[in-house]
C-alpha cells in the first residue's frame, strides 16, 4: 500500500527554506522523499552537508526530518509525504542520506506524474500511483548502488539519452567528449565502464533501429532513409545495416513486406 499524503514539484521558496519535523509535529510519522533542485544542507553522517542541485534524500517515518537552504537564497524542490508498508520502501538501501540520481529528468517527471495522479484520485489503492511509485523507488534504488561510480554519471546518462533519441546527429567521439569537457580517450573509457558498450556502438545501433522503422513504415528510398538516420554515404549505410541485421536494407524491407502479406492472408483465411 502506498498512501500519498501530499506532494508537489518545482515549488520555489523565494526566501529559502528551513524544514524541521520533531517528534509530535506534522510529518514526523510519515516518510518523506525530497528531490532538491537547489543547493541545500541535508543530514550527512553526524552533521549537515551542503549538497548540490539535483540531490535526493529519503527520510523514514518516525524520524527527525531536518534540512535547510543557504541563507537568503531561493530554494526549489519536489517532495512526497507518504505512508507505506511495502518492502520496496522499507528495504531502500540508503535512508536519511543524500545521493545524486543518474537521470534527474526521469525522477522529476515521475514525481510530477505522481503528484498529478494524486490530485485526480487520492485513494491509497490507486493502481496508477502504485505503479508510478514503484518505478520511482526502483530507479532510485538502482541509482544508490552506482551513485559514486563516476562523477560524470549524470552527464553520461544525458549524453546517452541524446544519442538514442537523435542518432541522426553527426556524432563523433570528439563532439561527445566536448559535452563533458574531458578527453576522447577518457570518455570512451568511462562510457564503456558505465554502459558496457562503446559510445559509437550505441550511435550505430540506434541508427540501425531508426532505419528499420523507416524501412517498415515509410516508402522512402534506401538512400533517403540512410540520410535521415545520419549516414552521408549510402554504401556505408548498407554495409552497417547488413552487419547488424544480416540483410541489406532492400532485403529487410522486402522480407518484412512479404511476412506482413502472409499474415494478412492467414488472418483472412481464418476469419480473424
Average pLDDT over residues 96-114: 93
pLDDT band at 256 (very low <50, low <70, confident <90, very high): confident
CA 238 centroid distance within chain: 32
Q: What is the pLDDT of residue 260?
A: 63
Q: What is the pLDDT of residue 10?
A: 96
Q: What is the pTM of this model?
A: 0.70
Q: What is the pLDDT of residue 261?
A: 58
- The three grid cell numbers given for residue 173, joined into one nine-digit string: 567521439
Give the position of cell 541508427. 207
Delimit the CATH 2.60.120.280 region(s) of the chain.
2-146
pLDDT tens, residue by residue, 136-175: 999 999 888 665 556 788 888 889 999 999 999 999 999 9
pLDDT band at 249 (very low <50, low <70, confident <90, very high): very high
Give the position of cell 546518462. 157
pLDDT tens, residue by residue, 171-224: 999 999 999 899 999 999 989 988 889 999 999 999 999 999 999 999 999 999
Q: In this predicted model, which residue has the larger pLDDT, 263 or 108?
A: 108
Q: What is the pLDDT of residue 24?
A: 65
Classify residue 116 as exposed, middle or buried by CB count within 10 Å of its CB (0-12, 13-18, 19+): middle
Q: pLDDT at residue 63 above 80?
A: yes
pLDDT tens, residue by residue, 65-77: 999 999 989 999 9
| Class (C level, CATH) for 153-258 | mainly alpha
Own/partner contacts of 8-13, CB < 8 Å, gap of 24 or more, are: 8/78, 8/79, 8/115, 9/78, 9/79, 9/108, 9/111, 9/112, 9/115, 10/37, 10/76, 10/78, 10/108, 10/112, 11/76, 11/77, 11/78, 12/74, 12/75, 12/76, 13/69, 13/74, 13/75, 13/76
Delimit the CATH 1.10.10.60 region(s) of the chain.
153-258
Q: pLDDT at residue 26 above 80?
A: no
**Other CB atoms within 10 A of residue 234 CB:** 16
Q: What is the pLDDT of residue 16?
A: 94
Tell me which CATH code domain 2-146 carries: 2.60.120.280
Q: Where are the alpha helices (DSSP H) in 4-82?
A: none
Amino acid at each position: 500500500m502506498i498512501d500519498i499524503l501530499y506532494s508537489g514539484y518545482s515549488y520555489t521558496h523565494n526566501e529559502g527554506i528551513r524544514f524541521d519535523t520533531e517528534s509530535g509535529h506534522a510529518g514526523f510519522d510519515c516518510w518523506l522523499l525530497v528531490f532538491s533542485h537547489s543547493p541545500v544542507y541535508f543530514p550527512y553522517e553526524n552533521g549537515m552537508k551542503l549538497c548540490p542541485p539535483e540531490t535526493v534524500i529519503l527520510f523514514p517515518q518516525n524520524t527527525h526530518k531536518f534540512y535547510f537552504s543557504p541563507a537568503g537564497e531561493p530554494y526549489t524542490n519536489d517532495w512526497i509525504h507518504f505512508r507505506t508498508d511495502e518492502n520496496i520502501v522499507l528495504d531502500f538501501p540508503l535512508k536519511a542520506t543524500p545521493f545524486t540520481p543518474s537521470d534527474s529528468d526521469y525522477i522529476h517527471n515521475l514525481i510530477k506524474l505522481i503528484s498529478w495522479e494524486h490530485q485526480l484520485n487520492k485513494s491509497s489503492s490507486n493502481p496508477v500511483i502504485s505503479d508510478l511509485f514503484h518505478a520511482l523507488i526502483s530507479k532510485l534504488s538502482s541509482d544508490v548502488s552506482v551513485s559514486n561510480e563516476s562523477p560524470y554519471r549524470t552527464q553520461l546518462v544525458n549524453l546517452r539519452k541524446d544519442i538514442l533519441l537523435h542518432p541522426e546527429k553527426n556524432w563523433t567521439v570528439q563532439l561527445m567528449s566536448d559535452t563533458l569537457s574531458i578527453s576522447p580517450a577518457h570518455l570512451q573509457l568511462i562510457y564503456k565502464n558505465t554502459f558496457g558498450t562503446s559510445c559509437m556502438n550505441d550511435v550505430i545501433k540506434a541508427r540501425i533501429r531508426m532505419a528499420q522503422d523507416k524501412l517498415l513504415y515509410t516508402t522512402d528510398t534506401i538512400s533517403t532513409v540512410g540520410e535521415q538516420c545520419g549516414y552521408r554515404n549510402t554504401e556505408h549505410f548498407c554495409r552497417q545495416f547488413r552487419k547488424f541485421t544480416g540483410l541489406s536494407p532492400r532485403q529487410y524491407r522486402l522480407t518484412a513486406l512479404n511476412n506482413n502479406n502472409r499474415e494478412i492472408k492467414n488472418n483472412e483465411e481464418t476469419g480473424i
